[in-house]
Amino acid sequence: GVEDALAADVEPGGTADGHRVQLLANIGTAQDAERVAPTAVEGVGLFRTEVLFLERTTAPTRQEQATVYAQALSALGDRKVVVRTLDAGADKPLAFATQPDEENPALGVRGYRLVRHDPELLETQLAALGAAQSDAGTAPWVMAPMIATASEARDFAARARAHGLTTVGVMVEVPAAALRAREILAEVDFVSLGTNDLAQYTMATDRLRGELADLLDPWQPAVLDLVDATARAGLELHKPVGVCGESASDPVLALVLVGLGVTSLSMSAGAVPAVRYALRHHTRAQCATMAAAALAAESAPSARASVVAMLAPEV
Ligand code: PEP
Ligand code: MG
């Protein structure tokens, strides 16, 4: 069928010595899923479902959501699709879900924390995902944003599994979650590092504040230390650790992430070919050497310069 024809064009990512690294796309709509389906990506590593909730005065119904999720799942056939539950608040304000009276919305009731005020919002979304799974005949991976503790991860996993969802994970984008990655991974099947927020919270730097871009740089050794801690926990527990923040789309940083032990990289679909090319020209051992050099650097620019100096001549 059509899905087989599309699947035949999928091209697994990996290093020069054949170490596999899944290359995935970030999407926000079912139309995006249809756009990336004909490309070589191995699936979707981040479906930002909040797009469906934006510019509305009430949440979309379970049926409305199920239709969109089933459409996205069907577009990707049997490829992996990681759906993130609603991440409202701070840089993603939502009229009906965010608290109007917060002085520090980035530190407030956002992401998974909305469950404290409105558990029905999450339950409806999980029910819609369960229904979409039955309709599309393919099982999504499901993850929650802004998880800070193992107990939040445990609560989310229980809620998702109660709706028949079988592959359940959380984002690691709060430093506390990276520091306790082992305990969090014990509760779930996978994690995905959100380096945009991880950099914001590690460096105490608003991600929308352009003049502080040097601090927000994902090459900051402190941010890489937290990626390292998370990837190590994944290797120990034999569970996947992905990256779905913008950092995955920098081909040079992608080498470092793979060297740290990250197992998948999700980015805007247009960034995949350059990352694929960079990986293909380096071995896993070379990536590990680059990662060690980046961790040993004392600043973001020197981390990047030390890795650039090690690149294969054709990259
Ligand atoms: C992130 O924080 O890195 C992430 C992938 O999610 P978002 O950019 O949607 O917050
Ligand atoms: Mg985020």
pLDDT above 80: residue 2? no
Neighbours of 283 (CB within 10 A): 15
Q: To 5 degrees, how large is the angle CA 256–CA 258–CA 259? A: 60
pLDDT tens-digit series, residues 256-284: 999 999 999 999 999 999 999 999 999 99
Please state the rounded mean pLDDT for residues 84-106.
Answer: 88
Q: What is the mean pLDDT of residues 171-188?
A: 98
Name residues contacting ligand 1 (CB within 6 A).
Answer: 46, 48, 87, 173, 194-197, 244-245
Which of 217, 244, 249 has most ligand 1 atoms within 8 Å of CB, for mutation? 244
Continuous segment of H or E residues that includes residue 253: helix 251-260
Checking if the pLDDT of 4 tops 60, the result is no
Which pLDDT tens digit goes with each residue over 224-252? Answer: 999 999 999 999 999 999 999 999 999 99
Which tokens sit at 61? Answer: 């119904």
* Residue 11 labeled ligand binder: no
Contacts of 25 (CB under 8 A, 6+ apart): 32, 36, 39, 41, 43, 44, 45, 266, 267, 268, 269, 272
- If one compares 97 and 244, the residue with the highest pLDDT of the two is 244
Average pLDDT over residues 160-175: 98
26 is in an annotated binding site: no
12 Cα: distance to centroid of ligand 2 (angstroms): 26
Model ipTM over 0.90: yes
Active-site residue identified among 52, 143, 165, 244: 244
Quote the tokens at residue 217: 């740089």
Q: What is the pLDDT of residues 60-83, one digit of tens each?
A: 999 999 999 999 999 999 999 999
Choice among 41-45, 61-65, 96-100, 138-142 with the minimum mean pLDDT: 96-100
Q: Is 3 annotated as a binding residue?
A: no
What percentage of the chain has pLDDT greater than the value 90? 90
Residue-wise pLDDT tens digits, 147-157? 999 999 999 99
Q: Which ligand is nearest to the CA of 268?
A: 1
287 is annotated as an active-site residue: no
Res 87 pLDDT > 60: yes
Which ligand is closest in space to the CA of residue 91? Answer: 1
Q: Are 114 and 97 in contact (CB under 8 A)?
A: yes
Cα distances (angstroms) measured from residue 241 to each of 169, 182, 186, 194, 283:
10, 11, 13, 11, 19
The 10s digit of each residue's pLDDT in 29-63 is 999 999 999 999 999 999 999 999 988 989 999 99
d(CA 178, CA 166): 23
Distance 193 CA to ligand 1 centre (A): 9
Give the tens place of pLDDT for each residue, 105-131. Answer: 999 999 999 999 999 999 999 999 999
Q: How far is the CA of 242 from the centre of ligand 2 (A)?
A: 14
Q: Ligand 1: which of 197, 200, 216, 227 to mutate, most ligand atoms within 8 Å of CB?
A: 197
| 104 has binding-site annotation | no
Nearest residue by C-alpha to atom 9 in ligand 1: 48
Mean pLDDT over each residue of the chain, to the nearest integer: 95
Judge whether residue 1 has pLDDT over 50: no
Residue nearest to atom 6 of ligand 1 (CA): 194
Q: Which helix or strand (DSSP H or E) is residue 13 part of?
A: none
Whether residue 50 is annotated as binding a ligand: the answer is no
> Phi/psi class of residue 137: alpha, beta or left (left: φ > 0; alpha: ψ in -120 to 50)?
left
Closest CA to 33 of 23, 21, 22, 46: 46
Q: Quick one: pLDDT at residue 6? A: 53
Distance 51 CA to ligand 1 centre (A): 13
- Given CA atoms 5, 64, 112, 268 in this order, what sign does their dihedral have? positive
**Span 93-112, average pLDDT:** 89
- Tell whether the model's pLDDT for residue 8 goes beyond 80: no
Q: State in Å: Cα 93 to ligand 2 middle.
A: 13
How many CA atoms, within 13 angstroms, populate the side-chain half-sphere of residue 280? 11
Strand runs labelled E in the chain: 22-27, 43-48, 80-84, 141-144, 167-172, 190-193, 241-243, 264-267
For ligand 2, a single-atom ion, which residues have Cβ within 5 Å? 173, 194, 197
The answer to whether residues 179 and 214 touch, using CB atoms and an 8 Å cutoff, is: no
Confidence of residue 93 (pLDDT cuts 50, 70, 90): confident
- Sequence letter at residue 155: D
